[in-house]
Amino acid sequence: MSMDVTETLDVKGQNCPMPVIKTKGAFEALAAGETLEVVSTDSGSMSDIAGWADSTEGAELLEQKEATENGDDVYKHYVTKTD
Amino acid sequence: MSTETSADPEAALTADQAAELLDRIDDLESEVAELQSEVGDESNKMVIIATKGTLDMAYPPLILASTAAAFGYEVTVFHTFWGLEILHEENSKNLKLSSVGNPNMPVPNLVAALPGMDRMTTRMMRNKIADNDVASVQELIEVSLQSGVDLQACQMTIDLLGYDEADFYDGVTTGVGAASAFQEMQEADIQLLV
C-alpha cells in the first residue's frame, strides 16, 4: 500500500515516554490532511502511540507495523491530522 | 379599598411585569449557558505532589507529567520535601538509589548498609538506565518544561532545607505553598501523591 507521508520522526534509541512526547510535538506542526510517520525502537510505543492518538482530537492512527532494520526491531506508526 | 382593586391577582400582567419576567428569563438563560460551557470544558488538569528524591522515585512524576502534557493536559507538579532534589539543578544530577530497605536489591540489608553500597547500587541503576535508552532526569525536566508542565518548588521546603531560589532549574516556579497546591488539586481531574 502507498501512503503519503509528509514528515518522518525518528525516535529510534529513545524509550518511554519520549516517543509519545516527540510525536505530539511533530504532530502539532502538521497541517490538516498531512501524515506523520514515527519510527521507534521502543516496543511499548505500539500501545503508547495508539492510546495517545485515540485520546487526541484531530489525530487518526492509520496504521502501525513492525519491521526489522539492520537487525533491530522497529515500530512504525502513521498518524494523520484530520482537521 | 382602592389598593385592593389595583392589585387584582386575576388581572393580566402589566407591561412592566412582563418586561421584568423577560429580563429574568434572559438572565437565567445566560446563567445556564455559562454552566454548560463550564461542564463541557475540555481542558483537563492533573496535579502531582512529588515528595521523594531518590533516583528511582524521580522518574514516575516526571514521566507521567510529560506524558499527560502530550495528551493535552494542563499539568502541575508540586515538589516538596525530598522531591525538591529533582528540581535542584546541582543535586538532580546526583540523585541516589537507596540499597537499604529495598527488597528488590540483590544484596541483603546487612550488606546494603555498608559504606559505599548506595554509590554502587546507584551506579548499577544509572548504567541500566543508559543501556535501556531511558531518558535522564535532566532530559525529562527539560522536556516537561518545554511541554508547558508547571514544575513547582514548595517555598516552605526551600527555606527549611536552606536552598536558594537560584539553585533550581530555569522555569521552575517558586514562592508557592500548600494552599496554592490545594487550590490546583481542587480544580484537577487527577491528583497524585508520589
- Residue ranges covered by each domain of chain A: 7-81
**Residue B7 counted as domain residue:** no
B77/B151 same-domain check: yes
Range of the domain at B177: 45-193
CA–CA separation, B163 and B176 (whole Å): 15
Task: Report pTM.
Answer: 0.79
CA nearest A21 in B: which residue?
A: B70
pLDDT tens digits in sequence order for chain B, 194 residues long: 444 555 566 668 889 999 999 999 999 999 999 888 777 666 799 999 999 999 999 999 999 999 999 999 999 999 999 999 999 999 999 999 988 888 888 888 888 888 888 998 899 999 999 998 899 999 999 999 999 999 999 999 999 999 999 999 999 999 999 999 999 999 999 999 99
Q: Which of B72, B133, B143 sits opposite A21 (nearest CB)?
A: B143
Q: Most A CBs within 10 Å: which of B133, B143, B190, as the mutation test of the A interface?
A: B133
Pick the CATH number of A7-81 from 3.40.640.10, 3.40.50.1220, 3.30.110.40, 3.10.20.340: 3.30.110.40
| Active-site residue, A16 included | yes
Q: Which of A3, A5, A16, A29 is catalytic?
A: A16
Q: Are the C-beta atoms of residues B47 and B190 closer than 8 Å to each other?
A: yes
Question: With 0-12 CB in 10 A as exposed, 13-18 as middle and 19+ as buried, what is B149?
Answer: buried
Nearest CB neighbour to B67, from listed A20, A41, A42: A20
Element (H, E) at A75: strand A72-81
Asked if the Cβ–Cβ distance from A17 to B66 is below 8 Å, we say yes
Predicted-complex ipTM score: 0.84
